[in-house]
Amino acid sequence: MNLNEATKLIHQRRSIFPKVFTGESVADEVIHQILENANQAPSHKHTEPWRFHVMTGKKKSELGTFFQETYAAHVLGDDFKESKYNKFPVKMNKSSHVIAICMQRDPKASIPEWEEVAAVACAVQNMYLSITAAGLGGYWSSPGLMIEHIGEFIQLNQQERCLGFFYCGVPKVDMSLLVKKKPLDEKVKWYK
């Protein structure tokens, strides 16, 4: 790979939402390779704090039901939106895999927590680049209520916490259009 190829891949990366997934299954081996690439992310003192809980098949459907039950139990009155409640199983059915993105805090707390979160985010960026290269779609969602309660559905280790969910699937259409970003010059200051 050269810099131009890497640049093209990075510029094609985007969030692709489950509403444009076909519902087709992606081979577990492809997801494993995506997670293997995530595992190559940098971390201070090699703490490697990323943890992934992969749900597919029946477990993914059960996750949709769990999200509905959690939403119904905690969102009451006028705050409850029937449309949101109904979207949970649809998102699961359209996705091939749903991955709970978690962070295992260094037990010694030898580095600041924000660095552990940043390392997990780097791992997720590797996932994004990998699904782009594979022609797949993906989206990192961070619904606070579900993050707070996911330990009731999957087994988290002590000091492990969920940072969101990564939905992965096959997009219906070619999603290779470049995303327009604000000019870099607005975000960089050079000092010489």
CATH number, position 22: 3.40.109.10
In the prediction, which pLDDT does 176 show? 62
The residues of the chain scoring below 70 in pLDDT are 175-178
In the prediction, which pLDDT does 29 show? 98
In the prediction, which pLDDT does 105 show? 92
Task: Report the candidate in 16, 14, 11 with the shortest Cα–Cα distance to residue 137.
Answer: 16
What whole-number distance in Å separates Cα of residue 7 and Cα of residue 2? Answer: 9
Tokens of 185: 């010059």
What whole-number distance in Å separates Cα of residue 87 and Cα of residue 64? Answer: 9
> Is position 5 within any domain?
no
Angle at 125 between CA 132 and CA 16, to 5 degrees: 45
In the prediction, which pLDDT does 39 show? 98
> Is position 23 within any domain?
yes
Residue 154's domain comprises 15-186
> Is position 8 within any domain?
no
> Is position 10 within any domain?
no
In the prediction, which pLDDT does 180 show? 81
In the prediction, which pLDDT does 68 show? 98
Number of other CB atoms surrounding residue 92 within 10 Å: 24
Domain count, the chain: 1
In the prediction, which pLDDT does 142 show? 96
Tokens of 114: 């924000």
Q: Look up tokens 């076909």; give the residue.
A: 22
> Is position 107 within any domain?
yes
